[in-house]
Structure 1
Amino acid sequence: MIEEKTSERLDLCRNGAIFFRSRRAAEKRGRGMNRFRNMMRSIFAKLVFAFMIVLIPLYALSLNMNDSASRSVKDQITASLYSRVQFHMDSLETDFDRIIRLEQEFVNDADLTKLSNSAAIMEDFDKTIVINRLRSRLGLLKTSNPYILSVGISIASIDRTLSTDNIIDPIDPGAFRELSQPTNRYVSPFLTYSDRLFISVPYPEIGRREDQQFVIAVEIDKAEIRRVLSRLSDNAEGGVVLFDSRLRWQVSDRTQGEGDIDAAELARGLGLLAVSEREASGGSGYRTVTVDGTPYIVAFEQSSSLDATLLTYLPEKVVLGSLRKYRDGYWLLSIVSAIVVVLFSYLIYRLIHRPLRTMVVAFRKVEHGNLDAPIVSRNRDEFSYLYSQYNSMIGRLKVLIHEVIEHQYRVRISELKQLQLQINPHFLYNSFFIIYRMAKVHETENVMRFAKYLGRYYQYITHNSQQEVPLTEELEFARTYVEIQKYRYAGHVEIDFPDPPPWVGRIPVPRLILQPLLENCYEHGLTDPEKDGIIAVSFQVSEHGGVLTIGVEDNGDSLEDAELPRLRQALDAELEPPESTGLFNVHRRLRIKFGNESGVRLERSQLGGLKAEVVLPLSSKPQDEKDRVEEE
């Protein structure tokens, strides 16, 4: 029966808490929507809307002019960059094509053919003459083009390399192996070795490498290419780079470490790198690429005969630097518009906003409870009429508030008396049955003691003249209730009920705040008749002596883990079942008396059951006791 009632009360508490939470959320959303509507309907919002109607076309026109000029200048500078890139790439193609053709003609040189084929049968004098003639022709080949750094011929039959550096060295096997690789000189002519750039012609080109007689290698002067590229780049923040489609080599107008842009990153962003040996992407144009958050204008030209790309880049901020006059005009227009807005706003402030602000300040004082703030006006306009009506309103509010406060005080006193009389009638029935059983077996002494306890009990709860009593009287009444329950449970419940500190006992507290907590332990916590029960009462004063906490706990096992949060939720929502329980009764009375900082707290007891704590604020305590606590 008790479990069914508890379950019904918990369901009612849960449903009530859900209802009140949903209602508070709906009220909060409604208040937010009302604030937004009021703001949109205010004079301030209408003034702002009027300003926007006037200023938006001006700003839109200036922005359109600025954007149009930016696009025009950007397109012109980009087209100029691209045309310069095309010109330089055409020049490079012409120069390197001439180098390739001169190399190809050198293959058919008679002295080179004779030395590579007949060196074994030639006299040393004849070899020297032939070698000198070859070196002379190599010098002519070197001076024929500024991009040639040096020219060398590695001849296998004499195991020597002839070069324009006036050096005749033994053949370097690594260089001979790398530079003798066959290439399509009219599609991808460049080879790299030791970070040097070469255009080489092996002979013969078909067959095994072991059968190759000589290799003509022209080393390209990267410094000269860099000087030419530097003429293409006329801005310190821009750059120019020449690289092949697989990024095996690259030449930039900057020395290593000068620039902030990686050519590989730009090339990948533009899709200029070949994926495989046979795939070499071709194309040209200009785009805008963002690197590390900075936009760059990039113009590029790819050469199908050199398998290389010439790329120049320039920060967009440099390109658009010539638009300062448009920006100055835009900012001048913005300043003039701001001045107009300030002057017009000040005029509106003088005429309308300041009187409105006076009323808003007055209403905020009323909102915070200050009804002694009348508005004094010297003008004779519409606002003076509003001020007069406001003063009349706060005068009527004072009278109404006084009447409401008096009515609420009377209602609160009546509610306190009504809550005190919500006593469980089952206790009275059980007491009479206990007297009947003891009288039936002629236990006269027990009947006398029990009747005395019962008389004190009902004398205390029916005495309504005092709303507060000293804590010692409330504790004495609680002990009387415990003595009555001892007859009912016949030694199956152990009670730990210590005395509080002496100065605490003199503190005035509301009546009937401990007995309902003890009753809750007996009725709902100790439901197992075969298990010995334990009830413990404790007293705790906060560190600064401002709060007294009285705890009542039991070792019952009927409290489930899911039930405790529901009870706390019902207490926090200040909900109460139709048949009011003692916990809710005490909690409600303490909240009415002391406010939200007091009340009943629920938690799991270390004994295993429920622990209910009564939290009471202490307004003061005797000075001698304060001194004693400090000394301790």
Structure 2
Amino acid sequence: MPKANLFKKVLLILCMVLLPLTLMLMYVSQVSISVVREEIETNSRSRLSFYMQRLDSEFNNFVSSIANLNKDTDIQKFTQMEENATDYTKLKYKLESGKELSSINYGSWEHAYTLYAANSGEMVSTHSSVRYNDYFLQKLQEQRYEQLVWKYDDPQLPHIRPAFVWWVSQPFAPLSAAADANTITEIRVNIRDLAGMLDEFKGESSGVPFLYHAGAPVISPAGSDQREISEIAVRFSGQSGGEAEGTFTARVEGVVYMVSYTTSVALDWALIEYVPLEQILQPITTSRKLMWLFMGLLVTLAVLSAYLLYRNIQVPIRKLYVAAKKLEGGSYAYRLPRNRNDEFGYLFEQFNNMTVQIGDLIDRVYAEKLRSREATLKQLQSQINPHFLYNCLFFIKNMTRLGEKETVMAMAVKLGDFFRYTTHVDQQEATLREEVTLVDNYLSIQQMRMKRLRFEISVPEELMELSIPRLLLQPLVENAVVHGIEPKEGEALIQVRGETLNVNGRPVYVITVEDNGVGMTEEALQALLASLKRSQEAAGNCGLRNVHQRLVLRFSSGSGLSMERSELGGLKVAICWSEL
């Protein structure tokens, strides 16, 4: 079938519909994931920022709560107390200072204030452990503190919990000169409340938050997976790059997590939240799976539709196409199967009926054409015979008038042989040998009339047994004599030659009649060639036209009569034919 058939066009249309739809769904899915992921990252960072601002606010309020501590008279009495003061005085001032420290207790988070007087070497604290004073004095002696900075402190003692600690000296002095200060104040905030805040954070989100600082233990909600948190903390150390906030993905034990973080201004710790990416994208993943399921169903329906189209439309159309090609090639006996009950079944039946009718019609037309051709051949032959007879009788009359008895007798014998050959009307075919013999008789008769006439006949022996229509060569020779030789004075020559040509692997037989007569002008020659294609009723050149038509009717296309000027000076007429 033609390359761009109906089925291929339908498949192309299906592909043109499905491909953009698939690409569009893929693009929408990817954009949806990107938009949702970006929105989730933004929301996660917003929550982290909110809790981090809350945390920073709490710690800043702790620092603000002791801003005016040294202006209090009870605190001043304690800090200015001399080392040699009485025990009563020391106890009195410590109780009054402790009462003042307890009065400035801020917020709900567990915290403690500690005040150290350098002059007397005494200290007062709101810490719940009575043994905390010893730990404080030990840190003071070792100078393990940094002023105005919140630091994580883990005593690793059962009675003192880890906490964030903030120190300040009065008057303020660098770390190396802190021992010369009059007063040292400490704020200690228990990390237990930070863990509680993280529990609250965790309850409001789907991720796991924790506080992280390099070189310090991680602060995380209760029940958290410490191994996961440790792995995420390691990834954070390599990904953050010193940025205050951000988001990245990390793979831990085959699970991809989205990690968001923000950094505390007060503590210099990072609040990190991690959540499985699959959990975040679960709604979109479900939608995408449903989308691909829909696409799979759509493709399945498209394939099924293409199959049904191929089976119920393409296959019958192809059968019709094959049948039509066979009909075009002349196979009128080919029939389509009658095994369908649909519209194509009706078309198959009508096609079979049509081929039967066409076959019958062709048989009738062919038979009629054969009868018409036979009648036409007989008509053409009957046109030739009277024409030649008229010429011969006219010659005999002239010879009798001249008293040429021998010539008349010879003419009569030659004429008798001629008519003996031409009167067998039932025999429409003759061998080339018989036709050459007839031409020889004819030219011998003409030679009797014109002593100046010479003729040469040269036909290969292998052509002599070819079968051709009767009286095919004689009109050509007669035309050369009447129209070429007779009008010219002087020596006259007629040559008859035969040869075989090879054209496209097929033998083409050629008989040439050439004379040195008066010839024809180019205009007259073209007019004569044009007259050969006219109907039988056209006037003039009846003999040549009849020869041409008989060749066309009898042999294959390309057969016929041609004319051109001869090198001898007259006309060169050739007939060519090849077998069907």
Is the pair's TM-score, using the shorter chain for normalization, greater than 0.5? no
Larger Rg: 2
Q: TM-score range by the shorter chain?
A: 0.3 to 0.5
Higher relative contact order (CA 8 A, sep 6+): 1
